[in-house]
């Protein structure tokens, strides 16, 4: 199975316990005002053209946003860092975008990591049906549950979506 990966950050120290590899899966149902990775919101890959000015001369640089990757490809990258997980009590964090948007792919990689005894964290905004949480819960060691705002109107204003589902999923 393959999923669309937005980015991979090695040696992450703010995404859960210890030293971690953070896998950013592409696609997000929200449109937060403060989003610092708006290119991650669209689940599809695309080519971005940036204008860079060097010595006063502008030139265009093409960049592929998102990459289709298999579970095996991700595992190969993750396992190279295992000494850091072992020494620090770290592991792997799935972030986004919203990682639960690609829940089938997420479930496969979580299962594979559980088999290898690697600690897993899922960083989610909570915008997913409870059944999806139920599928992954046995393979997830830690959830970072990022409810954007407790006030319904403000949540809608700042993210474009209602927060009912996020609050219900926590019950």
Give residues in contact with ligand SF4 (CB under 6 A): 28, 30-32, 35, 37, 40-41, 96-98, 125
Please state the closest distance from residue 110 (CB atom) to ligand SF4, in A: 20
Place of tokens 């403060």: 34
Q: C-alpha distances in angstroms, 84 versus 7, 14, 61, 92, 170?
A: 19, 14, 34, 11, 32
The nearer residue to ligand SF4, 41 or 120, going by C-beta atoms, is 41
The nearer residue to ligand SF4, 109 or 128, going by C-beta atoms, is 128
Please state the closest distance from residue 60 (CB atom) to ligand SF4, in A: 26
The nearer residue to ligand SF4, 119 or 155, going by C-beta atoms, is 155
The nearer residue to ligand SF4, 16 or 97, going by C-beta atoms, is 97
The conformation of residue 115, written as its DSSP 8-state character, comes to H
Place of tokens 């971005």: 48
- Which two structure tokens, joined as six digits, stand for 55? 């010595």
Please state the closest distance from residue 4 (CB atom) to ligand SF4, in A: 14
Please state the closest distance from residue 30 (CB atom) to ligand SF4, in A: 4
């Amino acid at each position: 199975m393959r999923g669309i990966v937005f980015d991979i950050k090695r040696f992450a120290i703010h995404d859960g316990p210890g030293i971690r590899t953070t896998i950013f899966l592409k696609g997000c149902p929200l449109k937060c005002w403060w989003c610092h990775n708006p290119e991650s919101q669209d689940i599809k890959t695309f080519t971005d053209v940036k204008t860079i000015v060097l010595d006063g001369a502008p030139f265009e640089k093409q960049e592929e946003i998102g990459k289709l990757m298999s579970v095996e490809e991700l595992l190969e990258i993750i396992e190279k860092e295992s000494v850091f997980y072992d020494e620090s009590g770290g592991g792997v964090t799935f972030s986004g975008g919203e990682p639960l948007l690609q829940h089938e792919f997420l479930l496969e990689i979580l299962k594979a990591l559980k088999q290898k005894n690697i600690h897993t964290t899922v960083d989610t905004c909570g915008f997913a049906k409870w059944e999806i949480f139920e599928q992954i819960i046995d393979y997830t060691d830690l959830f970072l549950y990022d409810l954007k705002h407790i006030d319904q109107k403000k949540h809608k204003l700042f993210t474009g979506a209602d927060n009912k589902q996020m609050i219900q999923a926590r019950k």
